[in-house]
Structure 1
Amino acid sequence: MIIVTTDCIPGKEIKDFVGFVKGSTVQSKHIGKDLLAGLKTIVGGEIKEYTDMLNEARKKAIDRMVDEARELGANAIIGMRLQSSSVMQGASEIIAYGTAVRAE
């Protein structure tokens, strides 16, 4: 699956626009790790637990978007974007979305 953030794929011709595709997930950390992350805010620096959580969430959201595109018969996604929002303290939603296409 080709995934680009642009509206075209260099060297490829878009034959068909299949439709809008998306994938999302809501992730939270284990309470113990959340407490450790809270302590890290006191001393400063990267909160690795949240970095890991968001990286995992982005991967899941993109994988779900790709699955949806494949089900529609697409071989590429153009105009891909990622967005996040806080659902509650310690939990974030990540959504990946774009336009599924058939490209040659």
Structure 2
Amino acid sequence: MPWVVLVIAAFMELVWATALKQSDGFTRLWPSVIGLSVALLSVVVLSVALRDLPVGTAYAVWVGLGSLGVAVTGMVVLGESVTPSRVACLALILIGVIGLKAVEG
């Protein structure tokens, strides 16, 4: 169950980072409110996962999945560039996350 909680926290990373992009430097109210609120909630949910997971593993997975999600959202939704090298690097992040899960069990 802590891994499910951790994945939820990582998904929240995707939400808040995307909302902050849409906030246009905190000049738009609702994307700013959503971004900051979900960022705080993401940290709270991460802390719940940390009850049962090692901090190094949990933090690496949280940041890794969050970064991966934001990058993919940027490419698919926001029209950011999709290059083979970028996709390969993102695949390495995913492999690292899967590896951490495999060794932690």
TM-score grouping bracket, smaller chain normalisation: 0.3 to 0.5
Larger radius of gyration: 1
Q: Give TM-score, length-normalised by structure 2.
A: 0.33
If each structure's strand is expressed as a fraction of its own residues, which one has the higher value?
A: 1
Q: Say which structure is richer in helix.
A: 2
Q: Which has the higher contact order (CA 8 A, sep 6+)?
A: 1
With normalisation by structure 1, the TM-score equals 0.33
